[in-house]
Amino acid sequence: MQVTLKIRRFNSEKDSEPWWGEYKFEAEPTDRLLDALNHVKWYLDGTLTYRRSCAHGVCGSDAMLINGHNGLACKLLLKNLGNKITVEPMRGLRVVKDLLVDMESFFDKYKAIKPYLITESPEPEQERLQSIEDREKFDDTTKCILCGACTTSCPSFWANSEYLGPAAIVNAHRFIFDSRDEGKEERLAVLNAAEGVWRCRTIFNCVEACPRGINVTRAIGEVKKALLFRRP
């Protein structure tokens, strides 16, 4: 099939304004969008810049705005995107070059919710055991690959870049609802602060954007409920 890729280009060292690059070429309908981007970079314009690593929807490097929706370029087939495909960098983060955005602030927020096991009680002789039911409580939020698709689709985040954002809250949820973890209070305190979970306006863009199918808004709702019913 004949495809036209319309890519929003910007080089923060050279350009004062972003511009649109159009690339027409022949591709297989079963090619992924990432294959098409590779085609542009390898054969048409080597200056095109984007992140990719595993190319199989696991590393979370190639999240971008595709035809107006956030998604992973390696998980979308050209036949499902149409002949004319618009590709832009994710919104709300500083563009370094073309589709590559500065993710530093995104990961700072991830670190702020302490994404590691916190324990105070003495170490058991063997593993910390967990029932199947207890594991089920945070199963959905373990699927996050930190691609940033949810946070950069969130209007609350666009309006206020200090907001922790859905991705950080999802990863907090993963530990708050883990029966082995004892750092719940510390994390809830971070999420209860002014730039925390209350900035969520239940818009559901994050749910639509998540390439892993995580019910992000539900997880945020569960964190809100945990704050509401917590005993100090």
Q: Which of 77/159 has CB closer to other proteins?
A: 159
Rank residues 82 and 124 by Cβ distance to other proteins and give the closer one.
124
CB of 151 to other proteins, least distance (A): 15
Count of positions on this chain that bind other proteins (CB under 8 A):
21
**Which residues inside 33-72 make contact with other proteins, applying CB under 8 A?**
none
Q: How far is the CB of 185 from other proteins (least distance, A)?
A: 6
Binders in 72-131 for other proteins, by CB under 8 A: 120
Find the binding residues for other proteins in span 145-174 (CB under 8 A). Answer: 156, 159-160
Is the Cβ of residue 3 or residue 197 nearer to other proteins in the bound state? 197
Smallest distance, Å, CB 14 to other proteins?
29
The residue among 49 and 192 lying less far from other proteins, judged by its C-beta, is: 192
Q: What is the 3-state secondary structure (H, E, C) of the chain?
A: CEEEEEEEECECCCCCCCEEEEEEEECCCCCEHHHHHHHHHHHHCCCCCCCCCCCCCCCCCCEEEECCEEEEHHHCEHHHCCCEEEEECCCCCCEEECCEECCHHHHHHHHHCCCCCCCCCCCCCCCCCCCHHHHHCCCHHHHCCCCCCCHHHCHHHHHCCCCCCHHHHHHHHHHHCCCCCCCHHHHHHHHHCCCCHHHCCCCCHHHHHCCCCCCHHHHHHHHHHHHHCCCC
Q: Which of 5, 34, 224, 226 binds other proteins (CB under 8 A)?
A: 224
- Near other proteins in 179-208, by CB under 8 A: 182, 184-186, 188-189, 192-194, 196, 198-199, 201
> Tokens 């036209």 appear where?
4
Minimum separation from the CB atom of position 182 to other proteins (A) = 6
Give the angle 196-197-201 at the CA atoms, nearest 5°.
Answer: 120
Question: Which parts of this chain interact with other proteins (CB under 8 A)?
Answer: 120, 156, 159-160, 182, 184-186, 188-189, 192-194, 196, 198-199, 201, 224, 227-228, 232
